[in-house]
Amino acid sequence: MKILLIGGTGQLGSAILRRAYDFGFEVTAPERQVLDARNESMVLACLKKFKPDVLINTSAYNIVSKCEEEPYLAAELNFVAVLKMAQATKRFGVSFVTYSTDYVFDGEKNKPYREEDCPKPLQTYGVSKLAGEYGALNSYADGTFILRTCGVYGGKTGSRSKGGNFVLNILKEAEGKDVIEVSSEQIANPTYAEHLAEASLRLLKIGAGAGIYHLVNEGYCSWYEFAKKIFEIWGVNRKVLPVDRGGGDGKIRRPKFSVLENVRAKKLGIILPPWEEGLMAYFKFLNLSK
């Protein structure tokens, strides 16, 4: 099976590149100068040239605060581009995989969200991602995979647009402080990009049906608990203080309990490891990458 990958240098895209060979996939990941997700002509040209079986889109405008400041850019990449990619893949008879987020929910359910739960985003980022879901599914329901995930981290340097990821940034912050304050009211499933990539590829390998899937490391925790576990495993002796920010970040509202439950993929035998194992696997990767 041939995969055309958008975002091959990101945390998730690079993980897909590393794992694809294990599943017998051939992956082409053109640079942005050749394949920009926002450029419909480039997408069509690459589909015609490379003749993939699947287009995987890992690109997104996912800096939540910036989405509030630049809603048109958020809509351009998270909605319009996804819609156009779905239309293009339908035209070529190619399966389409794109990623969405726990932020399509408001967090008021107070128990894990299943794939069929009704979305209700609180901020521009969540609205733009949900619009992308609706656009793709309405355009190409038979061939679109919406893979929702949560708190993704991975790679040697993390996300370029975010300047790292939660794990790397909290370790960097600890270098100059004795006491670290971390949000305690937001509960999520921190998800290791390598495990997410593997689960995504397994779905394709077994020929799963299109639709919405929740792919996250099993279990959940607050970001405060996650930070404590990071320091514990990495051997950092810092005091971590829980801070209840009420789900807010300035003027941005964030869901307090945005935990996702893997129901559909689990029925197919696809289960990601617990989040603690994901974190340990990431540290092993970082040590090997030194």
Say if residue 268 is exposed, middle or buried (CB neighbours under 10 Å; 0-12, 13-18, 19+).
middle
Q: Which domains does the chain have, with CATH numbers?
A: 2-163+191-219+258-273 (3.40.50.720)
Contacts of 77 (CB under 8 A, 6+ apart): 37, 38, 59, 60, 61, 128
Which residue in 109, 105, 227 sits closest to 173, CA to CA?
A: 227
What's the gap between Cα 134 and its chain centre? 17
Pairing of strands 152-153, 2-6: unpaired
Digits of tens for pLDDT over the chain (290 positions)? 999 999 999 999 999 999 999 999 999 999 999 999 999 999 999 999 999 999 999 999 999 999 999 999 999 999 999 999 999 999 999 999 999 999 999 999 999 999 999 999 999 999 999 999 999 999 999 999 999 999 999 999 888 888 889 999 999 999 988 899 999 999 999 999 999 999 999 999 999 999 999 999 999 999 999 999 999 999 988 899 998 877 566 678 999 999 999 999 999 999 999 999 999 999 999 987 65
* pLDDT of res. 250: 65
Q: Which long-range contacts (CB under 8 A, 24 or more apart) does 15-23 make?
A: 15/154, 15/155, 15/193, 15/194, 15/196, 15/197, 16/56, 16/58, 16/197, 16/200, 16/201, 18/194, 18/197, 19/194, 19/197, 19/198, 19/201, 20/201, 22/201, 23/201, 23/202, 23/204, 23/205
Task: Supply the pTM of this predicted model.
Answer: 0.96
